[in-house]
Structure 1
């Protein structure tokens, strides 16, 4: 076999190897994209359930507020009003997230998908932070003017301690539920599940697709 035949054979082998490598990368990117779609799809049932539960809860609270507006104590009205407001904001966030999930196109530009996943991650954190702010009103909705008498001083002192504790906890969670704390045990305990894990896994796998496409 002449040298030129060997060179031709070698170049043919190199081309075949490059084509196989390109095909493998394309297949790997497509498989990873399917996995990301599966992760995002697994979030829909949880978010639809949370959306429905939130709507029913707000409808129930608002019905109470309207029917008891002139008879209930100010503590009840303010506490339930805060509950309704924060839950309504959470409903809006869930609607926004469901729209984001529908808009994500893995076959499109990676940067566009990364940006949508980042918004999904950020809104998930904000929703949790806002819902934790409801914590103190669970300790105040049952209060009324008749309780504030001298005979109830010990009861009121205990009430103050409980409400202050819940308020401190709510503020702490609001300030510390951040992506930077994702490695902490309390964060993992709060966020492990369909609300959080699919987003993070999708972001990680999207980086793999970026490597496959650029490689």
Structure 2
């Protein structure tokens, strides 16, 4: 066999190998997209259910706030107002997350999908932090003028301890719910489920594809 034929065979083999590697990369990306869709799909009904229930809830609370305005029970009005305001903010975030999940389902470059998943992860942390800020008002909405005027010292002490405890927990969670704490037991207890696990699995898959493409 002449040198020219050997060189041509080698070039042909190299070209086929390159085509095979390119096809493998494409197949890996497509399989990854399918897996990401399968991970994110169960999140849609959860988010949609939360939005529907949230809208119904804030509607009822708004009615209660308006109906209590004539009586002037400001403990209830302020507590319920804070709670419903935070819930409305959470609903807006859930709507934004539904858009992100839908967009992540569309075939697009891996990098763009990674950005959307990063925002989905970030907003999941934020909406949880916001919802936990509601804890203190659940200990104050039932206060009234009669309770303050006619209550006993043990009642005041108990109520103060409960409210301060809930406030401390709310502030602590707001400050410590961060991605850096994802491996801690209390964090996993809060986020274990369809709100969090699919996002992490999807991000991990896309990172693997990115590394594969970089090393290929």
Matches within 5 A, 1:124-139: 124-139=124-139
Q: Alpha carbon RMSD of aligned pairs, Å?
A: 1.9
- Correspondence 1:6-17 to 2 at 5 A: 6-17=6-17
Counterpart check, 1:35 vs 2:35: yes
TM-score, normalized by length of structure 1?
0.91
Three-state SS of the structure 1 residue aligned to 2:49 is: helix
Q: Unaligned 5+ residue runs, structure 1?
A: none
User: Which runs of structure 2 are paired with 1:43-192 in the superposition (5 Å)?
Assistant: 43-71=43-71, 73-104=73-104, 107-149=107-149, 152-192=152-192
1:141, distance to aligned residue in structure 2 (A) = 0.9
Within 2, Cα distance between the matches of 1:55 and 1:151? 36
Aligned residue pairs, count:
215
Say which structure, 1 or 2, has more relative contact order (CA 8 Å, 6+ apart). 1
Q: CA deviation at 1:211?
A: 3.1
**TM-score with structure 2 setting the length:** 0.91
Give unmatched runs, 5+ long, in structure 2.
none
Task: Give, in whole Å, the separation in 2 of the partners of 1:150 and 1:67.
Answer: 25
Mark the CA change 1:131 to 1:151 in structure 2 (over 3 Å): closer, same or farther. closer
Q: Distance in 1 between matches of 2:71 and 2:118?
A: 46
Report Cα offsets for 1:49-83 as digits up to 9, x if no partner.
11011111101101111112112521111111111
